[in-house]
């Protein structure tokens, strides 16, 4: 199983331990690649719309026509069991691509093109926190699929 996560920006130092921790945990279930793309510009010089379009262009160039799941505040809230079923189903395809928006959110084009939009809760998290939360849910999902003790 191959999982790719595309996210604008860089991971802050204070989250690196959590990032490495969950990547290490997932590696026996799947190969995970996290692709950081450059931010779409400086809000002091460009409008939010232009920045989001720049990021969408860069993200789409990495997606190269593949299906992707968007992490989106306005997406559907699902629970960990449903997420694990989705992971299990995608295993038949052999690949899942997730996209997380940048600090300013996502361009509508990405919403339109996405296969599915998932909301983790009604709270707004930083995009970097969403990366860590997503990795933990992926790990949890594999533990559920494999009937291993972790999800209570
Ligand atoms: C700081 S948020 C951007 C908030 C922005 N107001 C918006 O409308 O998306 C950065 C990114 O993190 C992700 N994100 C933040 N909170 C989320 C949540 N509760 N569920 C799913 N994704 C979330 C989304 O991909 C979002 O584009």
ipTM: 0.97
Helix (H) or strand (E) holding 6: strand 2-8
Domain around 86: 2-145
Query: Among candidates 71, 81, 55, which has minimal Cα distance to 143?
Result: 81
| Ligand 1 binding pocket includes 72 (Cβ within 6 Å) | yes
- Bridge partners, 37 (sequence order): 8
For residue 43, give both structure tokens: 């809000």
Instruction: State the binding site.
Output: 71, 101
Q: SS3 for 51?
A: helix
Question: What is the mean predicted confidence (pLDDT) over 6-26?
Answer: 97
**In-domain check, residue 151:** no
Instruction: State the binding site for S-adenosyl-L-methionine.
Output: 71, 101
How many other β-carbons are positioned within 10 Å of the β-carbon of residue 132? 18
**In-domain check, residue 152:** no
CATH number of the domain bearing residue 48: 3.40.1280.10
**In-domain check, residue 106:** yes
**In-domain check, residue 67:** yes
Cα 104 to ligand 1 centre (Å):
8
> What confidence category does residue 78 fall into, taking pLDDT thresholds of 50, 70 and 90?
very high
**In-domain check, residue 61:** yes
Q: How many domains does the chain have?
A: 1
Cα 93 to ligand 1 centre (Å):
27
> What confidence category does residue 115 fall into, taking pLDDT thresholds of 50, 70 and 90?
very high
Q: How far apart are CA 78 and CA 83, in angstroms?
A: 7
Residue 9 pLDDT:
96
**In-domain check, residue 150:** no
């Amino acid at each position: 199983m191959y999982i790719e996560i595309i996210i604008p920006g860089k991971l802050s130092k204070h989250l690196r331990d959590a990032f490495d921790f969950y990547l290490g945990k997932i590696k026996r279930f799947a190969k995970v690649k996290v692709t950081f793309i450059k931010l779409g510009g400086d809000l002091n010089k460009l409008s939010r719309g232009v920045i989001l379009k720049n990021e969408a262009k860069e993200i789409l160039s990495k997606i190269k026509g593949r299906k992707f799941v968007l992490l989106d505040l306005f997406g559907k809230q699902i629970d960990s069991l449903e997420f694990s079923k989705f992971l299990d189903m995608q295993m038949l395809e052999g690949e899942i691509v997730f996209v997380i928006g940048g600090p300013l959110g996502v361009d509508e084009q990405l919403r339109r093109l996405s296969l599915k939009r998932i909301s983790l809760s009604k709270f707004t998290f930083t995009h970097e926190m969403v990366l860590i939360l997503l990795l933990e849910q992926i790990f949890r999902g594999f533990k559920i699929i494999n009937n291993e003790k972790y999800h209570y």
